[in-house]
Structure 1
Amino acid sequence: MGIEQVGTLGIILGVISQFWPVWLALAIVLVLSVMFKRRLGLYGQLFDSGVGIAGVMICLFWLFTAIFADTVAPFAPLQQFPLLKDAMPGSIEPGSGKIFLFGGDKLARDVFSRMVHGSRIVLVIAPAATLFALMVGTTLGLPAGYYGGRIDTVLSFLANLVLAFPVILLFYLLVTPGIMDTAIPYWMAGIFFIFPIIFFCTLFYTRFRRRPQLLAVQLALTILIGGWIYAGLVFNADPLGIISIRPNELNIFVAVVFASSPGVFRIVRGLVMDIKTRDYVAAAQTRGENPWYIMLWEILPNARGPLIVDVCLRIGYTTILLGTLGYFGLGLAPESPDWGTGIKESSRLLRLYIHPALPPVLALMSFVLGLNLLADALREQSLKD
């Protein structure tokens, strides 16, 4: 007995209907953003251009898809249906009557559900790793650009040393099983993940050092929350059980931070070297302000425009790198529904069955496109400011 199928129109309507919570969330955000865009600062200004609206909507589409993945996806990402191995798009699962909207893969799993659940992996690892790289690069780039001299020479040499390695080769060395099974990733994670705690402690100290009671509260919260996240990420010892990261995901996380931090460092260093010659910095120095206060509260806010643009682009680069690693079978588990692994699994039978490869490819392309459009819109706004 053959498997029943729906037509092209049925597939299109099925996809649209499955994304109903995403469309609803997008509509609410769009209406509220347009209504209050004059009060939303830089975010509101993005809705003055078509490029900005497109970038925001595409990025929010995948964000809401990741949030509502359990509702959007009709099946679990690892659920198998033997009768639907390599099933064509629109095939109906006999037991539940649900549709394999994008067909089945070689292990009889729903391609649409795996694409949807794969967005969770990408939208957790790529932005989080990029933000940690931003913390590391910023914390080291500020003193290098402000002080110069030996500090700048040593830090710049280390950054250039990392940048001299080909990125793919560097990732391959960091996430191969021989390295993954050692303590090296955990030592690197222990070093990198301490930077956000140092950054925020310094930030609050320079701002509130003359108000000891408020400073004590700020430092206590920073150490408490930072220590909780640090214990969960580095030692997988979150007492609440909220933060949990598998060893292979930790290795990829560390590799992204290690490879991206030097680029952020160079950008921050260059911006600081330019901004520190401005009059308002000289005025702060004349007032006798602490150098770290000047770096964090006078220079860094005025460098936020280029840094925000770089973060958007860097998340896109990280997404592509995650897809590349997944394609080569490095880092994430073989059964992972991430987009790179999906492309790898479907590429082996590409001449016979092309449909399993298209959804993860288009998902990755669209998300990176949205980030690039968002970065272009942010760049235009920063030039106007």
Structure 2
Amino acid sequence: MQLEFVGWFQILLGTLWRFWPVWLALAVLFALSFAFKKRLGLYGQILDTGVGIAGVFICGFWLFSAIFAGTIAPFNPLGQYPIMKDALPGAIEPNSGQIFLFGGDTLARDVFSRMVFGSQIVMIIAPAATLFALMVGTTLGLPAGFFGGKIDTFLSFLANLVLAFPVILLFYLLVTPGIMETPIPYTMAGIFFIFPIIFFCTLFYTRYSHRPGLLAIQIGLTVLIGGWIYAGLVFNADPFGIVAIRPNELNIFVAVVFASSPGVFRIVRGLSMDIKTRDYVAAAQTRGESSWYIMLWEVLPNARGPLIVDVCLRIGYTTILLGTLGYFGLGLAPESPDWGTAIKDSSRLLRAYIHPALPPVVALMSFVLGLNLLADALREQSLKD
């Protein structure tokens, strides 16, 4: 059967039209952001610069693409249409009449749909793993920098031990398929995922210990919600089936947290050592506040600027890492639509068909660029503050 094609102008218009939920969501986001800019603190301040607006736009584009992927993508990302194997961009699928806007890959899947659904994987794993690494690094870095002494020596030794290990080899060891059959990933997940619960329980206790009623509600909600998420992630025992993660995704998640936490630890430790010498910390000590209260409510809020910048950059690093692991065939399932796997699949016939490789490459590059622009804008504002 002879395939029919549409022109490049129709491909461009069709692509822009498929993203209509994203354009609508971005319009609402920027309208509300500029309307309430003075009330939005640091986020509102970064909209004063072109770099900040560009960063928010690009990151928002991929965030909303992940949210509305089911509406944007015209085909199932795993669906195969034999006649569309290696089809060029603009080919019309005969049965549905839908256009393969970016063509078909070597397994006859729609490249455009796979790129869109690939954003979901990136938006779930990269920010979530980075936030968990932030929790682990912050929980350990604050006491190391604030107390010093043997605590600092021990925790710094552990962090330096992980940082001294070659990163690529570390991830290769942690993400190889054979390790999923061992209890190592679940043991590490059980350790790392308990840190957010400890962090928030300590946070609320130091603040509201003199108000037992309010404290009981906050601790109860933290343990309830945290325990529910913990059971779903570590034991795959969520009774509602909402919080669940496949073994290969858990492997990547744990590997990213394990490798990123020491970097966060060193940043928080350095900031804590600097901020603890400030006058407002001495004033809190004079009032008789506990050490953990000072760390969580005096030191940490004043370290938020560099930490927010680091989080943006670290999400970008994690995104590149996910792409690298997918390219080497590690971690996610072979049929996964993540951008790294898509690049790997298309690279095998790169000389003959270049069109399947370009969309995931541009997607990966643009998202990391948006995060870097956002980090630059945040850095500028933090220096002004």
TM-score (norm 2): 1.00
Whole-angstrom CA distance in 1 between matches of 2:361 and 2:354 = 11
Q: Helix, strand or coil: the match of 2:182?
A: coil
Deviations 1:29-50 (A, max 9, x none): 1111111111111111111000
Whole-angstrom CA distance in 2 between matches of 1:166 and 1:19 = 40
Paired AA for residue 123 in structure 1: M
Deviations 1:123-181 (A, max 9, x none): 00000000000000000000000000000000000000000112111100001122121
Whole-angstrom CA distance in 1 between matches of 2:177 and 2:323 = 18
Aligned to 2:245: 245
Q: Give yes or no for the alignment of 1:101 onto 2:96.
A: no
Range moving further from structure 2, 190-199 or 29-38: 29-38
- The alpha carbon displacement at 1:286 in A equals 1.1
Range moving further from structure 2, 1-10 or 323-332: 1-10
Aligned to 1:336: 336
Q: Give yes or no for the alignment of 1:223 onto 2:214.
A: no
Instruction: Flag as ranges the 4+ runs of structure 1 deviating above 4 A.
Output: none
Aligned to 1:202: 202
Whole-angstrom CA distance in 2 between matches of 1:244 and 1:214 = 31
Q: Helix, strand or coil: the match of 2:239?
A: coil
Residues 92-241 of structure 1 aligned to structure 2 (within 5 Å): 92-241=92-241
Paired AA for residue 162 in structure 1: V
Whole-angstrom CA distance in 2 between matches of 1:169 and 1:353 = 32
Whole-angstrom CA distance in 2 between matches of 1:103 and 1:177 = 31
Aligned to 1:86: 86
Whole-angstrom CA distance in 1 between matches of 2:287 and 2:47 = 40
- The alpha carbon displacement at 1:101 in A equals 0.3
Paired AA for residue 268 in structure 1: V
Give the root-mean-square deviation of aligned CA atoms. 0.5
Residues 308-323 of structure 1 aligned to structure 2 (within 5 Å): 308-323=308-323
Range moving further from structure 2, 28-37 or 193-202: 28-37
Q: Helix, strand or coil: the match of 2:47?
A: helix
Q: Helix, strand or coil: the match of 1:354?
A: coil
Q: Helix, strand or coil: the match of 1:48?
A: coil
- The alpha carbon displacement at 1:325 in A equals 0.2
Whole-angstrom CA distance in 2 between matches of 1:41 and 1:290 = 29
Q: Give yes or no for the alignment of 1:380 onto 2:374.
A: no
Whole-angstrom CA distance in 1 between matches of 2:374 and 2:166 = 27
Q: Helix, strand or coil: the match of 1:159?
A: helix
Paired AA for residue 262 in structure 2: P
Whole-angstrom CA distance in 2 between matches of 1:194 and 1:40 = 31
Deviations 1:274-308 (A, max 9, x none): 00000000111111110000000000000000000
Paired AA for residue 303 in structure 1: A
- The alpha carbon displacement at 1:69 in A equals 0.1
- The alpha carbon displacement at 1:193 in A equals 0.1
TM-score (norm 1): 1.00
Whole-angstrom CA distance in 2 between matches of 1:178 and 1:97 = 43
Paired AA for residue 52 in structure 2: G
Q: Helix, strand or coil: the match of 2:26?
A: helix
Paired AA for residue 361 in structure 2: V
Paired AA for residue 247 in structure 1: P
Whole-angstrom CA distance in 1 between matches of 2:142 and 2:384 = 25
| Structure 2 alignment gaps of length 5 or more | none
Q: Helix, strand or coil: the match of 1:309?
A: helix
- The alpha carbon displacement at 1:183 in A equals 0.5
Whole-angstrom CA distance in 1 between matches of 2:184 and 2:221 = 30
Paired AA for residue 245 in structure 1: I
Paired AA for residue 5 in structure 2: Q
Aligned to 2:357: 357
Whole-angstrom CA distance in 2 between matches of 1:54 and 1:167 = 31
Whole-angstrom CA distance in 2 between matches of 1:200 and 1:228 = 15
Whole-angstrom CA distance in 2 between matches of 1:370 and 1:168 = 25
Q: Helix, strand or coil: the match of 2:329?
A: coil
Paired AA for residue 44 in structure 2: G
Paired AA for residue 278 in structure 1: R
Whole-angstrom CA distance in 1 between matches of 2:271 and 2:80 = 52
| Structure 1 alignment gaps of length 5 or more | none
Whole-angstrom CA distance in 1 between matches of 2:180 and 2:248 = 7
Residues 62-81 of structure 1 aligned to structure 2 (within 5 Å): 62-81=62-81
Deviations 1:65-120 (A, max 9, x none): 00000000000110110000000000000001000000000000000000000000
